[in-house]
Structure 1
Amino acid sequence: MSRTALGWIALGASASLVLSACGSGGDDGGPGEFDQGVSEVVNSSDEKGGTLRYAITSDIESTDPGNTYYGYMWNFSRYYARTLYTYASEPGQAAREVVPDLAKGQPEVGNDGKTYTVKLKEGLTYEDGSEIVAEDIKFNIARSNFGPDALPGGPKYYKEHLAKSGDYEGPFTDAEDPLEGLGGVETPDDHTLVFHLKEKFVDFPYVLVQPQSSPVPVDTEKPGERYQASPISSGPYKFEDEWTSGDGLALVRNDEWDPESDPIRTALPDRITVEEGVDQNEIDQRLQNGELDVDLAGTGLGPGAKGEAVNDEATKTRLDNPENQAHYFMNVNTKVEPFDDLACRQAVQYAVDRGSVQRAWGGKTGGTKATQVLPPAVPGANAEYNAYPSQDGEGDIDEAEAKLEECGEGGGFSANLAVRSDRPAEVRAGESIKESLERAGIDVTIEQFPTKQFSTSRVGSPDYVQENELGLALHGWMPDWLTGYGYFSQILHGSAIKKASNYNVAEFDNEEFNKTLDQVVKMDDPQVRAEEYEKLDQLVMEEAVLVPMVFHKPVLYRPDNLTNVYFNPSWKMYDYMTLGTTET
């Protein structure tokens, strides 16, 4: 396999467009205006230097680009992991465009939509100076999707959609060639990948954006999760030291990165740091004191600081309150009694006071009350649909009690509700839900778990859920991309149910839903697809496996020293690749 540098070709959206885009906090920096970062760049600057400081309440999920599923890491990992494609570095609707990153241009689509050919830019290198080649991307896809040693944390879209992958046992076998048998991806030369799909899949370009399409050298690791200690950088920053979960991390400049080949990343700071396990109230205070720059999670100020900040006119100019396409809902597990009975699930739907839940998330600035599954920005969302109407969103206790009688639980029953302990708004919402359900005779015990365990070994483990009778679980989901498939597939399709890191927490496996979702992504007409997604949304609501809560609106705080700040709707938070700081 050759690693000879052959030059480069740069395509895609220009980073200079971001730096020169309309909008500023004023000639001397300044705070800007309320919600300015939703539609334009605030505090534009091309000033380099300084340290950009992040913090997060939990431990980082994983720094391995093949083993991560939280949106904040899909955004942040781009500092050190370039992908085949990415989203345009622009505020507003322009940010929804898929543009080349490692790729030279858009993929060539053939064979009735079942073949995608991608050409790589040439001459790109890792931090050690070795060349990035096509097999390295194929290896990351293999290690994160295939075989018994596949990394558990990320999605499995490649495994689900690549052709001839059923017999492939993964890269960590005794085979001389660790990629032999992965026929769904061909690498005819060092700079070409050919993806063969089982069936037409119109959303495949969005899969090529994800961190699993970043390169990992074939000879760098053995099975397991050790790579995350110090991923080999293909981006503008590399790890200063090995990362240990909970200890935080620091990134420094990667001198082998070629800015001419990368129109997405401005690479303004000299250094980037992340603190882990910091209390939300402390993060909020330090942001406002100028001691931090960004809350890594991207979920905004906590309940304590949110109302205070929004109501203070001076502070409000530093806030953005966008709709981020996140839907916070409650899963109702179909395998935990008595929720295996439809009427018992429907009783929960009727009993919940959505107005109270909305207030727990911060009222109207925290989000809008939801009555369907799909967030408003996703084609097929219908805000008028409500399968469980109740006056003023306070719930319908009479109807809830009638449903309890129908499922044989007329005297009520006990249930456990799981929430993430390091998400204050979710804890408060859990308490609100507990009060709501107890009005109908459903006695709720709240079980709290830290975020890192929540989605992997607790709520993300069907065995653990059933052994501990976690019939209810508060969760949130952002679409992996803005289509119905990008929202539904990992949380509601039966094939998404996994033994660990399971996001189909309701364990919903409905034949009609699965079959229809599989067929929609073969349809060329986007209007027809939207109509089908609307029907699927209604089916989920009729089956009562998700209780809609709020479509989230974070209150994001931007310190005066933070430059080039704007909300990117594709990353659902600030675009981390353009940020700089005036602090040295």
Structure 2
Amino acid sequence: MLALSLLLAVTAAGCGGDDGGGGDEQAATDTGEDAGGEPQRGGTFRIQTDAFEWTGNFDPTGEYLGTALGFYSSLLVRNLMGYRHVGGPEGNELIPDLAEAEPEISEDGLTYTFKIKPGVKFAPPVDRDVTSKDVLYAFKRIGTPSLVAQYGFYYSVIEGMAEFTEKGGLSAKGTNEISGIETPDDQTITFKLTEPTGDFLFRLSMPAAGPIPEEVAKCFMKAGEYGRFLIATGPYMLEGSDNLDATSCKSMKPLPGFNPNQRLIMVRNPNYDEATDTKEARENFVDRWEMTLNTNAQDIFDRVKSGSVELAHASEPPEVIREYTQNEDLKKNYHSDPGDRTWYITMNLTQPPFDDIHVRKAANLIMDKEGLRRAWGGSVKGDIAQHIVPDTMFNDELEDYAPYATEGDAGDVDKAMEEMKQSKYDTDQDGMCDAPQCKGVLHVTRTTDVWKAMVPVIEESFRKIGIQVTTREFEDSYTVIQTVKRQAPVSSTPGWGKDYADASTFMVLFDSRSILAEGNVNYSLVGLTGEQAKEVGAAGTTSGIPSIDADIDECNKLQDDERLSCWQDLDQKLMEEIVPWVPYLDANADFVTSDAVTHYVYDQFAGEPGWAHIAMDPSAG
């Protein structure tokens, strides 16, 4: 059997390093852990957010929001392999969770066999031990098209997965099984792969691969439905789970603990047995978690400061950043850690004028990235991004690579106009986009303060090269850009954080095999074919779009330094030969807490607070 350490080589120091900030504002806490005395058990931890932008209504099969992944992994769902939920490189390392131990792996790297821990139970009302069949059922849901598993492409390497999906998954008539997953008994599950996959264990740590009880979930076969009925295996559960009447599909009513537009409330799971877990992974100090919506970001931070809210999960207004980074009494409550996340403007390769590579290059040269960073709050928010994958994930080996560098990162009109002259949309080659397609170009963005502050910077930058954008703010802006038939030409909505510590988790955004009609994350439609365009509802320029699928496959075969180098080369190819994005920020993960938070820990895997280890003064909430 292969040693597990060989399979984990892809973690290669991608997420340690510096604070990612620099400049004139310095956060007080950037170590991933803030000890405030001996942590106590108890308390209601109140979180307020300025947007509930769930991409899959909290159904683990389809949900692809980093915030949700953090809650699942820390508190609600126990996968075969999991994480410690701490900061730095240690937080990116895998450890057994639902599995008793590391898997047995065949010499050819194609077969993985796990033993499941006895005594791990589902929360009420299911009240039974988790078995191998529950993990298998999760994969059957991943392979069911109607459930829109947004990262289902990670599991296409499992033998028979593609065939299962093509037949309709769980919706197929007659018998339909995944040939590459075997469950010979309740404690054993074996995966057979079609090719060696160095990061397969990381893929198994994603929440969609966690156990799901068929007796409940079978009633919810539309995308996002199960999120309001989620049955936990972790230390917490959705409020009301113990009162769910699961005697029939009709008897089940949505749990009060989750409303996709209002709240997420989690309470202790009475069926959780600490003896099946480790303090290394979860300490579970808090009794109750309450996350509620407040669209007034300033009010959220005022509430944190006054002590009526423990943590702000919102975009900090610049005044808040200045206050917390300059006031000695408040610095301890401002936490900044490497986010392993890139924020970017995405350009749709099917929509004019961005179906022209020269326009996309000109967009990179004209964009005032420093202005965008100021809208976020300045240098404390992170470094200016010059390419796709955060430098920390490349061990800073591409930190000097900047193909569209401009003085002060403020954009360069002359360089941008020279590039624009080569475009078919510059009809007189004067450096301005003057064709009819350059006017009224839809720009999709969010309704929250930071994105509103970016709008004038984006509009003015594009105006300098003749592109007149019409900005529309959407509360569900992710839904808009993830629905291909909406044909959004350009959007400043997205950012992308790693799914796990390997650059492959950024490259899936450009894999044509990940394109979906809904829930699509390849916003630029890189690699789209004419046949695919018909299937997903894409219009515009749907032929001749470049593909990097073969490059991705080649990198995925490699390990260690060769793998890292391959991803670096592909990052540069994307920036120079395809140009799907205007990346502008390698973001830090910044959170503000109240004085009641006595022990703050950062979760490097999720890029979120380490909920499993956070503690508070129980008397405060």
* TM-score normalised according to structure 2 size: 0.82
Tell me if 1:138 matches 2:136: yes
Deviates more, 1:511-520 or 1:116-125: 511-520
Partner of 2:414: 398
1:538 Cα deviation after fit = 0.8
1:279 pairs with one of 268, 271, 296: 296
Partner of 1:416: 442
Q: Give distance in 2, aligned partners of 1:341 and 1:236.
A: 51
Partner of 1:337: 352
Q: Give distance in 1, aligned partners of 2:361 and 2:140.
A: 41
Q: Give distance in 1, aligned partners of 2:227 and 2:611.
A: 20
Partner of 1:426: 451
Secondary structure of the residue that 1:399 maps to in structure 2? helix
* 8 A Cα contact 1:320 1:557, kept in partner: yes
1:472 Cα deviation after fit = 4.1
1:60 Cα deviation after fit = 5.6
Partner of 1:385: 401
Secondary structure of the residue that 1:321 maps to in structure 2? strand
Over 3 Å counting, the alpha-carbon distance change for 1:440 and 1:417 in structure 2 is same
1:503 pairs with one of 490, 496, 521: 521
Over 3 Å counting, the alpha-carbon distance change for 1:233 and 1:573 in structure 2 is closer
Partner of 1:459: 481
Secondary structure of the residue that 1:326 maps to in structure 2? strand
Aligned counterparts, 1:287-436, within 5 A? 287-296=304-313, 301-379=316-394, 382-410=398-426, 411-412=432-433, 413-414=438-439, 415-422=441-448, 424-436=449-461
* 8 A Cα contact 1:41 1:91, kept in partner: no
Partner of 2:65: 70
Secondary structure of the residue that 1:122 maps to in structure 2? coil
Identity of aligned pairs, percent?
23
1:34 Cα deviation after fit = 5.2
Partner of 1:565: 600
Provide, for residues 183-209 of structure 1, a one-character-per-residue CA deviation record: whole Å limited to 9, x for no partner: 122111111111112211101111111
Q: Give distance in 2, aligned partners of 1:474 and 1:233.
A: 31
Tell me if 1:519 matches 2:535: no
Q: Give distance in 1, aligned partners of 2:493 and 2:231.
A: 36
1:111 Cα deviation after fit = 4.8
1:418 alignment partner AA: V
* 8 A Cα contact 1:325 1:375, kept in partner: yes
Aligned counterparts, 1:33-432, within 5 A? 35-36=28-29, 38-59=31-52, 61=54, 62-78=57-73, 79-128=75-124, 129-143=127-141, 145-149=142-146, 151-152=147-148, 154-168=150-164, 169-173=167-171, 180-220=176-216, 221-222=218-219, 223-224=221-222, 225-241=224-240, 242=255, 243-263=258-278, 264-296=281-313, 301-379=316-394, 382-410=398-426, 411-412=432-433, 413-414=438-439, 415-422=441-448, 424-432=449-457
Over 3 Å counting, the alpha-carbon distance change for 1:483 and 1:68 in structure 2 is same
Partner of 1:13: none
Q: Give distance in 2, aligned partners of 1:473 and 1:301.
A: 17
Secondary structure of the residue that 2:468 maps to in structure 1? strand
Deviates more, 1:502-511 or 1:92-101: 502-511
* TM-score normalised according to structure 1 size: 0.87
- The count of corresponding residues between Structure 1 and Structure 2 is 537
Deviates more, 1:348-357 or 1:329-338: 348-357
Partner of 1:531: 565
Q: Give distance in 1, aligned partners of 2:285 and 2:332.
A: 24
* 8 A Cα contact 2:239 2:265, kept in partner: yes
1:158 Cα deviation after fit = 4.3
Structure 1: tracts of 5 or more residues without a match:
1-32
1:471 alignment partner AA: V
Secondary structure of the residue that 1:166 maps to in structure 2? helix
2:608 alignment partner AA: M
Provide, for residues 489-512 of structure 1, a one-character-per-residue CA deviation record: whole Å limited to 9, x for no partner: 1x1111111111111111111666
Q: Give distance in 2, aligned partners of 1:552 and 1:527.
A: 25
Q: Give distance in 1, aligned partners of 2:329 and 2:58.
A: 37
1:580 Cα deviation after fit = 2.2
* 8 A Cα contact 2:370 2:384, kept in partner: yes
Q: Give distance in 2, aligned partners of 1:581 and 1:85.
A: 28
1:59 Cα deviation after fit = 2.4
1:172 alignment partner AA: L
Over 3 Å counting, the alpha-carbon distance change for 1:388 and 1:247 in structure 2 is closer
Q: Give distance in 1, aligned partners of 2:514 and 2:319.
A: 36
1:334 alignment partner AA: L
Deviates more, 1:100-109 or 1:62-71: 62-71
Over 3 Å counting, the alpha-carbon distance change for 1:147 and 1:63 in structure 2 is closer
Alpha-carbon RMSD across the aligned residues, in angstroms, is 2.1
Deviates more, 1:432-441 or 1:299-308: 299-308
Secondary structure of the residue that 1:291 maps to in structure 2? coil
1:447 Cα deviation after fit = 1.6
* 8 A Cα contact 1:371 1:548, kept in partner: yes
Secondary structure of the residue that 1:564 maps to in structure 2? strand
1:435 Cα deviation after fit = 1.4
1:247 Cα deviation after fit = 3.1
Structure 2: tracts of 5 or more residues without a match:
1-25, 241-254, 427-431, 528-544
Q: Give distance in 2, aligned partners of 1:266 and 1:105.
A: 20
Provide, for residues 524-554 of structure 1, a one-character-per-residue CA deviation record: whole Å limited to 9, x for no partner: 3x11111111111111111221112011124
* 8 A Cα contact 1:300 1:556, kept in partner: no
Q: Give distance in 2, aligned partners of 1:234 and 1:251.
A: 13
1:355 alignment partner AA: E
Deviates more, 1:554-563 or 1:280-289: 554-563
* 8 A Cα contact 2:27 2:380, kept in partner: no
* 8 A Cα contact 2:315 2:450, kept in partner: no
1:108 alignment partner AA: E
Secondary structure of the residue that 2:47 maps to in structure 1? strand
2:445 alignment partner AA: V
Secondary structure of the residue that 1:172 maps to in structure 2? helix
* 8 A Cα contact 1:281 1:304, kept in partner: no
2:510 pairs with one of 466, 479, 492: 492
Over 3 Å counting, the alpha-carbon distance change for 1:252 and 1:135 in structure 2 is same
Q: Give distance in 1, aligned partners of 2:239 and 2:338.
A: 35
Q: Give distance in 1, aligned partners of 2:349 and 2:336.
A: 35
Secondary structure of the residue that 1:378 maps to in structure 2? helix
1:439 Cα deviation after fit = 1.7
* 8 A Cα contact 1:370 1:550, kept in partner: yes
1:132 Cα deviation after fit = 0.6
Deviates more, 1:307-316 or 1:183-192: 307-316
Secondary structure of the residue that 2:524 maps to in structure 1? coil
Secondary structure of the residue that 1:324 maps to in structure 2? strand
* 8 A Cα contact 1:459 1:473, kept in partner: no
* 8 A Cα contact 1:141 1:158, kept in partner: no
